[in-house]
Every structure is written in structure tokens, then in C-alpha cells.
Amino acid sequence: MSHLMFDRVYIDEAKKRIGEKLTIAGWVIRTRDLAKIKFILLRDKSGEIQITIKDLNLMPSENLGREDVVKVTGETVQSNIANAGVEFIPEKIDVLNKSKQPLPVDITQQTQSELETRLNWRFLDFRNPQTRSIFIIQNKILSSFREYLTNNGYIEFQPPCIISSASEGGAELFSIPYFEKKAFLAQSPQLYKQMTAISFEKVFTITPIWRAEKFNTPTHLNEIRQMDIEQAFADDETVMQVLEKVLVHILTEIKETCSEELKILKQENLEIPKIPFRRVTYTEAIQMLQNIGEQIVWGDDFTKPQEKLLMELVGEKAFFLKDWPGAQKAFYAMPYENNPDVVKAFDCIYGGIEISSGTQRIHIPELLRERLKFKGLDPEDFENYIEAFAYGAPPHAGWSIGLERITMIITGMTNIRECAMFPRDRERLTP
């Protein structure tokens, strides 16, 4: 066998290099056997090509099956018979590895395998063009997020994922043994974002977080990835403007570079919202709902059906819901000076789901203690956290975007498990 690594050409390139002797390699999508002429449809990361075999001596002794891995040396020729306009005429066909048959999941979508079956065989499901498209787009979300922030002076940092205590209350954490101590999986990089931002000024991170809630919904996972920023000398409005720009940058990049994937997912009409996004205050939202007769009063959280109504009433693909009651947001959310019941917190709603939330944080130790008490928490338990703001912490604000959720909206998926390569939910711990 020759040096596979050095002489292989990707299929998209091979299709352009008509008449040259080349070696391509990939997976057999299907074969069409017409006795004295045989066709193999071959796929690699770059595309597909039809291999046309007239010299039957070239065929491997064993029949070729779906997902067999083969290496083919030959040349691309133009063809007015082949639908693609080109086909590959082999001189030599090597089987690098056989695949078991039949496949346990349908990756050609002749029958639509269920999500559960696909997730059980995820490594094979990645060969499905639709699944591939989701993760190619997700990769673009990540790279364009990173690119925008890096180009705008933000420093990427890595928070720890093992933490010592449930500092924020609220969501349940997963506990893990840590030598002779007890530790937890981080539910948020919150404290670390703040500790870095008050020195580096502009920071961001892409990090997994875990929540031990027993939820069972199409929009929740127990392990997710967050794309976070934190910024000093900033208030809630400052970072909302950053969020708008980041989101539009991501969407623009995807629209420009992932048109093939969007088409496969039938999302080619991906709409890019106009900046500035509409800002709807919590109070306005309550009024809007009351106006159509909903049973809701100031201070209530929205029920799911009310959330949906609100989306319709606002009628924007993307908007902010801001100025929430303090009771509904974290203790570190900055209250308005003239109205301490309301905090400088916002959610970004995109495509009907909350993809991001953020706040201006409290940077004054005494105010933090006061808000902790207001929330029924003991400031004594938070002294390490509070101490971080005792040595010249500037005002700061930040937000986080849920990676799987934004992927859902852009790819048009309705179940978040589609948008995590290896999702972790109430039941699923493998693969």
C-alpha cells in the first residue's frame, strides 16, 4: 500500500482535476451493480463522486457494502451520462476497512431513524448529511464568536469546571468526590468571569456547565456549553450592544460560509435581525399580556404558554426582555438606584427561545451583602466572592449564550439533543 497520508486528494478537488492520475479515499455511500458495469458512490469530508467500473477485474473479491472504506486510484473524466457531469475511472481499488452490514441506523434517510436510535449510534449518525450540517454550523458559531471577540480586544480564559460549593443557590449541582473533600461540577463560570474581568477588563470563555435538574424537555440538557463574556466599565446596555453585534456577526458568517449546510437543513432563508434589537421591559411585557386578558401580575414569572404569547405579541425574531424584578434574577444583579425592586438584567429571545441572559453585576461589597440577605442567603457563605470586589472592582456586566440553544434556532431543530454531539440528559449517559 502506498503512502495514503501523502497522496490522497479530497473529492471536491479531484472533481476539478480532470485527467490527472489521483488517489481519492472515503466511504461507500451505495453501489449500483449492473453486471458488466458497476458504480460506487463515494463520500469524503469534502463531497461525493461516482466511480464507474467497466473493468470488473478491479473489483475487490468481496462485494462492497455501505460505509466500507476504500481508496481508489484513477482519474476524473467529464461525462455527459453521469448526472454530476464528472465521474472517476479507477485503475486500482483498495478496501481499507469493511463495515458490518446492515447498518444499525439509516444514514441515507430512506427511512427516518428516530433520534434515540441515531443518538445510540452517534458515530455513524455523523455520516448523515443533515447531522453533519448541524455540527459544521455549530463549529462556525464557535469560531465566529471567538473571532469577533478576539478581534475586539477580549481575552479568552478557562474557568475551572470543578468548584468547591454551590455559591449561587438555585439549580442543583452534581457533586463529586475530590480526595478528602466534596466538590461540584460548575453550574456557571460566573465568579471566574467576574474575577478576570475586574482585572483584564474584557474577557470571554467557551465552557461546559452542568445542572443536576431532573428536567425532561426539548430545550434542556444536563450538560451544556456556554459562550460567555464579561466586561469592566460596562453596564447592562453596553453588553446588550455587544450581544447584538456578536449575534449578527455569527449569523452573517453562517449565511456567507454555510449555505450548503443551511440548504440541507432547509434553513437557507436564515434571517439576520436588524440592530438595535427591540428592548421590551418586563413591565411592558406584563402589560402586553394583561391587555389580552392573561392572568398575570407584576412580579410573576411567565408561564410557558405566556412566553409563547409574548413572542407573538412582540413579533420580532430577536429581542431583549429587560429590567426584571430582582426576585427573579440572581443576587448579583445590579438594582436600579431609584427602584431597587428592578434589576439591570436581560434575556435575549431569539427564534422563540431564551438563548442568552445577562446582567450588570454588583461591584460594591456592601450592596452585595444587602442583596444576599434580600434573597434569603447568608453573606457569610459568600465572603470569598465578596472579597473579590473589595480591591478596586470597576462596574462590570456580562452575559452568556447557550451554544446548543442558538444552534437549535439556526439549524431549525426542535429538540436540543440534535444540537449536542453527545447529549447528556436525565436518562442518557452514553455514548
Partner RNA sequence: GCCCUGGUAGUAUAGUCCGGCCUAGUAUGUUCGGCUGUCACCCGAAAGAUCCCGGGUUCGAAUCCCGGCCAGGGCGCCA
Binding residues (CB under 7 A) for RNA: these are: 30, 32-37, 39, 41, 50, 52, 54, 63, 65-66, 79, 81-84, 87, 101-106, 110-117, 168-171, 187-188, 190, 209, 211, 213-218, 220, 226, 301, 303-305, 308, 329-331, 357, 400, 414-415, 417, 425-428
Min dist. Cβ of residue 256 to RNA (A): 29
Alpha carbons 198 and 396: distance in angstroms, whole number: 7
Q: What is the DSSP letter of 73?
A: E
Rounded Cα distance between 355 and 350, Å, is 6
Shortest distance in whole angstroms from residue 329 CB to RNA:
6
4/156 Cα distance (integer angstroms): 37
Q: Between 180 and 427, whose beta carbon lies closer to RNA? A: 427
Whether residue 431 has a cis bond before it, omega within 30° of 0: yes
Nearer to RNA, 103 or 364 (CB): 103
d(CA 63, CA 50): 17
Q: Whose Cβ is closer to RNA: residue 32's or residue 373's? A: 32
Nearest to 331 by CA among 302, 364, 373: 373
Least gap, CB of 91 to RNA (angstroms): 15
How far, in Å, CA of 374 to CA of 392, rounded?
A: 24
Q: Backbone phi, then psi, for 305, in 5-degree steps? A: -60, -35
Cα-atom radius of gyration of the chain, to the nearest Å? 27
The least distance separating RNA from the CB of residue 2, rounded to whole angstroms, comes to 26
CB 13 within 8 A of CB 23: no
Residues 6+ apart with CB under 8 A from 164: 181, 183, 184
Choice between 186 and 262, CB closer to RNA: 186
Are the CB atoms for 420 and 221 separated by under 8 Å? yes
Q: How far is the CB of 10 from RNA (least distance, A)?
A: 20
User: Measured from the CB of residue 274, what is the shortest distance to RNA in angstroms?
Assistant: 27
Secondary structure class of 346 (helix, strand, coil) = strand
Rounded Cα distance between 348 and 321, Å, is 6
- What minimum distance in Å lies between the beta carbon of 262 and RNA? 22
For residue 136 the three cell numbers come to: 459544521
Return the number of the residue (102 or 392) whose C-beta is nearest RNA. Answer: 102
CB-based burial label for 368 (10 Å; 0-12, 13-18, 19+): buried
Q: Number of C-alpha atoms within 13 angstroms, CB side, residue 93?
A: 27
Q: Which is nearer to RNA, 153 or 169 (CB)?
A: 169
Q: Which is nearer to RNA, 133 or 207 (CB)?
A: 207
* Of 8 and 184, CB closest to RNA: 184
From the CB of 398, what's the least distance to RNA, in Å? Answer: 11
Q: Nearest approach, Cβ of 254 to RNA (angstroms)? A: 23
Residue nearer to RNA on the CB measure, 202 or 417: 417
